[in-house]
A and B are shown apart, each in its own frame.
Chain A
Amino acid sequence: MSLLDVRQLRKRFGGLVVTRDVSITLGKGDRVALIGPNGAGKTTFVNLVTGHVRPDGGTVLLDGKDVTRASPTARVRAGLVRSFQVTRLFSEMTPEEHIALAMLQRLGRSRRIFADFRSMPDVVDEADRILSLFNLSGIARVPVGAIAYGQQRLLEVALVMALKPKVLLLDEPAAGVPSADIALIERALAQLPADLAVLMIDHDMDFVFRFARKVIVLAAGGVIFDGTPQAVAADARVRQAYLGSYADDRGTA
């Protein structure tokens, strides 16, 4: 059974259709990339799936349950987690605290008032394991505002992993990372659990093709291609969409 099942999702802003009948399914262990030229509607699609924008039509099923009307936080708790294109971390807190907080939230302990995660062996152990998996143990107790940007990107992935999602939306995980550090991000992504369903949104083709086993191309709000990375470059409509977009880059938001 599919973990994420998006059916016929539709959204218009005023007279502008930004998402037209988009359907996508992700199963266990899937590595899917969603690409498309600027203005193709990728961001809106992510916002529709995460619940930040209400769709005009269509459904979003998460692990068989209809979450189309659920709030963003309810979807996260149901296992649909996203990462951010621009790093969003708590600059005064340490990586250890980030991971611990994510775990406490997942374990339903984040409301506790008289407790300390450092006296919870399960949390300490797992936080330590995740941090060492991403080579962040050395800076586990340094405020995030003081660590390098590449390491912050790694922590972003580590944080998401600590939430143990069923479906993960990665929004340009390598954005802003110096090319020398991209290998680090790729190695981090390789550490994601094998049965997790991942949808990566990006436009760096090389990066996407090394990661994804399936590619979906969005243009002008609709899906124009759904197939293997090998076939995408040869597809006439994809070429048209990308090359055409240079001629008319005023596209839809």
Chain B
Amino acid sequence: MQTVLSIAADAVAYGMVLFVISIGLSVTMGLMKVVNLAHGAFAMMGGYIAAFATHQLGVPFGVAIVAAVAGTVLAAIPVERVLYRPIYGAPELTQVLMTIGITFVIIGIANYAMGPSMKTIPLPTILEGPVDIGFRSIAAHKLFAVATGLVVAAAAWLVIERTAFGVKLRASVDNATMAAALGVRTKVVYAVSFAAAVGLAALGGVVGAQLLPIEPYYALRYMVTFLVVVSVGGAGSIPGALLACLLLGAVETTGRYLMPEFGEFFFYLAVIAIVCVFPHGLLGRRG
């Protein structure tokens, strides 16, 4: 029983980190129909900025998070303008190649600027120790990750369901041509969503740095994981992404605890089973 609870606690923490990083990817993939393999690279960028800010500039953790999000968004805006716009509506193969290319370049730059070693982001003292949650104690940073995930989920839901921008976003996801005809400036919607998605990725990169350590191959190592979350959950669906993250977090963590020698075997087996049965994702829309 103790093991089950331990696994569950870790699975939820891991799943929530995945969620914070992937939610933006899911929304933008549903919206712009771009297979974006470079999403993890932006999460990595956030992690690097935070590591730099805390170590080199000595700023506190909270400021580092803000700097990471802002810095990554600023860097991503020209990338969206110049490299993503030409591939909206292009064949998948083209999108895959372009976004792999972007990933490789970001990895190369990260290594050039920060070196090949792993970077840590020092936590503030309140997040360092273990916290007793009744049945066991859990690292405070994991609780913080879960809390961040919940806040992001709630905020995303509020923005999409309750704001004027959310209305435009949903209309563009449903039918971009029709939305444009009705006066929605889809280019602006795309750009804003892309910036928000990248910002969330950076946030997830910082908050999850204890679980997904920051190093140059980060962007390549977790590229597949984030794509898997989106395809399992269904592109464009927030509840789908949440469900997929918790489910895949559970499969991955259970596998690691109970059968570490199988590596990610069960993770990918689950992915194949789910996508074969639900080709549009668990909660995705058909077509």
The short answer to whether A and B are in direct contact, CB under 8 Å, is no
Chain B interface residues (CB < 8 Å from chain A): none
